[in-house]
Structure 1
Amino acid sequence: MRRPLTHRTAKLAEASASAFFACRRATDRRRKDMIKPVPDFSFETAATTRGFTRIAGVDEVGRGPLAGPVTAAAVVLDPANIPDGLNDSKALTARRREALFEIILDCADVSIAHATVEEIDALNILRASHLAMERAVAGLQTTPDHLLIDGNMVPRGLTVSSEAIVKGDARSMSISAASIVAKITRDRIMVDLAQQYPGYGWETNAGYPSKSHRLALQNLGVTPHHRRSFKPVHNILYQQENVSD
């Protein structure tokens, strides 16, 4: 005859089941994290089967920083000469990004463009990043007939056939190449600006709102390269104006 569960036994069973399912959820999350997408040429191949012959990947970097331009790149890869190891620039080591940057410049049609801090403040960061993308596409040696755009929006100023690909820098080789070119270019710009405006740590934080960058803003003030429409910068300017009054 089966004995009824006591209150203590029932509690132990409940806790054991809860721990089991929590462990399984954690395992599933780790497994999911391990299975990360690797960019391939399938989007480009699909576009070719639809009749397009010159496909460019487009990406931007620099939406989140408090300082510096937003930078975009457009890249048309040669299907017969695709660099090995292309991936989302954030998934690569700095050394590997630098190496791939040089290889991409040597074997692909590449265009790089920017939107300035003044344009970011006048237009808003989304429109400015789209403007940089539009400029990058316009700068290619030969006009592409189809674009693969990283993200969920196609810039409204583009007149070429386009498709937006969410997380495209981790899915499309052309967009991966564009993400690498844009990041290396912008990082170098911020390193140069760091020499002119020491103390903000731009050589390592690339203008992003790190703790040290925010502290430097408080102690050193706002530079001409800071985005005044961004809240942390705007707040400091507002405080300074009130103090002076």
Structure 2
Amino acid sequence: MKKITTKEIKERLNQVTCLDDPLFETFSEDERKSVQQAISSTKKRLQKVEQLKQHFEEMKGFENKAYSAGFKYIAGIDEVGRGPLAGPVVAAAVILPSDFSLYEVNDSKQLSATKRDELFDKIKDNALAIGIGIMDQGVIDSVNIYEATKLAMKEAVSQLKVTPDCLLIDAMTLDLAIPQEKIIKGDARSISIACASIIAKVTRDKMMEDFDNVYPGYGFAKNAGYGTKEHLEGLDKNGVTPIHRKTFAPIKNMI
């Protein structure tokens, strides 16, 4: 009888979805090094999936608590862009269905740009509602970054097509007549806030990429407006642009 090839074994292992699949035992006595490596890599893949699922379930704790309290439309809210020297602060509000199960979701800072873009599309496809709030550098300079962040969050809530009955907010409280919970490091602890962080981050990064075309020489596409070496050198060489925050150092010292 013809011996099954390593390629065929790998193809079969690629279809395995649980660690107790009998295929592991079937191929365990195969002495070929390539087969044992395929078994090992498959187990590592499945272990990673299990870890993601476990983390995901832990991150649903705040949402599950809210559901148990009788809330139905829970909006997670987060912002991106409080620290940069240029560009807007962007907030997002996301309402997820109760059966949401996108296990790869995490705090946007823990994800690669490629993964964020991928999850951005999947979250948009699955969410019940998404709202985005943007406050530009003019607003930031007028009211300060903290207040501008609150305004962006409130705008994001107002843009939701489904009215939320509960808010989960990353490290903030808002003067809105909606029950809410302030969660420190919420983007790493709540699944809906994590989704909001991804939506806000990808939205703002795309805006900064567009600004890079309008105002070349500062590296906005790469640094998103943060004060990197390239950005500071661009300021020294090219001066202040209309999207720079005039109340932030070192810009305020250059005007």
Tell me the TM-score normalized by structure 2.
0.76
* 1:181 paired residue among 199, 223, 232: 199
* 2:61 paired residue among 16, 26, 42: 42
Q: CA deviation at 1:214?
A: 1.0
* 2:234 paired residue among 195, 216, 230: 216
Q: CA deviation at 1:142?
A: 1.2
Q: List alignment gaps of at least 5 residues for structure 1.
A: 1-36, 238-245
Partner residue, 1:81:
100
Do residues 198 (structure 1) and 220 (structure 2) align? no
**Which residues of 2 match residues 15-94 of structure 1 at below 5 A?**
38=55, 40-94=59-113
Q: How many residues align?
A: 200
Q: Extract structure 1 runs of 4+ deviating beyond 4 A.
A: none
Task: Percent identity, please.
Answer: 50
Q: What SS does the aligned partner of 1:101 have?
A: helix
Which deviations, in whole Å up to 9, do the C-alpha atoms of 1:141-170 show, x marking residues without a partner?
11101000001x3023x2211111000000
Do residues 105 (structure 1) and 124 (structure 2) align? yes
Q: What SS does the aligned partner of 2:192 have?
A: helix
Q: CA deviation at 1:83?
A: 1.8
Partner residue, 2:115:
96
Whole-angstrom CA distance in 1 between matches of 2:89 and 2:83: 9
Do residues 130 (structure 1) and 147 (structure 2) align? no
The CA RMSD over aligned residues, in Å, is: 1.4
Which deviations, in whole Å up to 9, do the C-alpha atoms of 1:187-206 show, x marking residues without a partner?
00000000000000000000
Query: Which amino acid is 1:131 matched to?
Result: L
Q: CA deviation at 1:111?
A: 1.0
Contact 1:56/1:77 (<8 A) preserved:
yes
